[in-house]
Structure 1
Amino acid sequence: MSAFKGDHITVQYEMHLDFPAEKIWPQLCPIREYDWIEDWECEMLHSESGFNERGCVFRTNVHTEGGPDIWLTCRFDPMEQIEFVRTNAWRIAHYIIELEPAQNGTRLIWTQHVTALNEEGNEYVKQWPDAFKATIIRLEKMLAHFLATGTMLRGDDKD
């Protein structure tokens, strides 16, 4: 048994979209993310419906995050909350997205509890708060654009 201790961090970001949860919810799906995330790639490994659902399993491969990742949708409460467990060689994450009615739209609370699995994971955990915030801000911009126009925000328009 090794003496390794994985660092742990919780990060959270709140997003506000001027749309009801009914318009947002369907987009929180690994298949539908192809419609609004330009660089999105995943491999669906298991889904009864072909879309996101409780028990859905899919794979992504983001090299800068220690990929490939295996994702499991472990909670699926439509229009309210979705949770994933996401793991790869560096870390394991419990990823939660909560949707709440807000003035003129919906508030989304994005939370990740991340635990390192090795020294590379410890380095990842140290830089994750800034990277997470930048990722969520980028996703907010892309999702808002898609919901308003029905088209994907491409290229330099995201920055």
Structure 2
Amino acid sequence: MNTERSDKKIAELKAQGPQYLRRLITHTQHFEATPEVVFPLLCPTTEFDWMDGWDCEMIYSKSLIQEYNAVFKTDYFIPGEVWVVSQFEPNRSIEFVRISETLSIKVDARILDNLDGTCTGNWIVNITALTEQGNAALRSLNPEDEPIGILIDALAHYIRNDTIKPLPDGIFNKK
């Protein structure tokens, strides 16, 4: 098999170096609830119940809730963002791939049953710039300022209190 062309392209790309930045953000949260309570809330439709100002347009979902290959759009984080559920295991894990004009964001959420009526959620967020504007956004991003922790804290508040926790102004495009 002749791999001369692909070998040449790989050598060019290595010499060029990465054009776009990537950031990794992680968050862990303990919940005083079972995975059967927490997991269904990680859904574009049920987020209306607990996320301050959440809005989305469901593009495709047979069940109209979280499911494998569901597609929806939102301007909540980044204007014009398209989301795809790329992995789904009920009450255990969900993965969203979010694409905007400037960034690609993959969100992996895993819910671990602690077998005592509680669970632990682990989020891994990979953010990759797609443009120079995306590079600039990632250069200015401090992991401690990433809103995943703020949102997951709001989720924990909703589970504890059955009320929406107001989110700080200016970090989301709330309706």
TM-score category of the 2 structures, normalised to the smaller one = 0.7 to 0.9
User: Is the CA contact 1:85–1:92 (under 8 Å) kept in the aligned structure 2?
Assistant: yes
Partner of 2:121: 108
Q: Decide which of 158, 164, 174 is 1:146's aligned counterpart.
A: 158
User: Structure 2: how far apart are the matches of 1:128 and 1:121?
Assistant: 14
Partner of 1:137: 149
- Residues 1:32 and 2:41 are matched in the alignment: no
Secondary structure at the aligned position of 1:153 is classed as coil
User: Structure 2: how far apart are the matches of 1:96 and 1:128?
Assistant: 20
Root mean square deviation, CA, Å: 1.9
Structure 1 stretches of 5 or more lacking a match?
none
- The number of residue pairs the alignment matches comes to 150
Partner of 2:62: 48
Shift of 1:79: 1.1
Partner of 1:18: 32
Could you list the per-position Cα deviations for residues 82-122 of structure 1 after superposition, in whole angstroms to 9, with x for gaps in the alignment?
Answer: 00110001111111001112366111111111110111101
Q: Which has the higher strand share?
A: 1
Secondary structure at the aligned position of 1:89 is classed as coil
User: Is the CA contact 1:25–1:78 (under 8 Å) kept in the aligned structure 2?
Assistant: yes
TM-score, normalising length: structure 1: 0.85
TM-score, normalising length: structure 2: 0.78
Partner of 1:122: 135
User: Structure 1: how far apart are the matches of 2:54 and 2:152?
Assistant: 15
- % of aligned pairs identical? 27
User: Is the CA contact 1:66–1:90 (under 8 Å) kept in the aligned structure 2?
Assistant: no
Shift of 1:131: 2.8
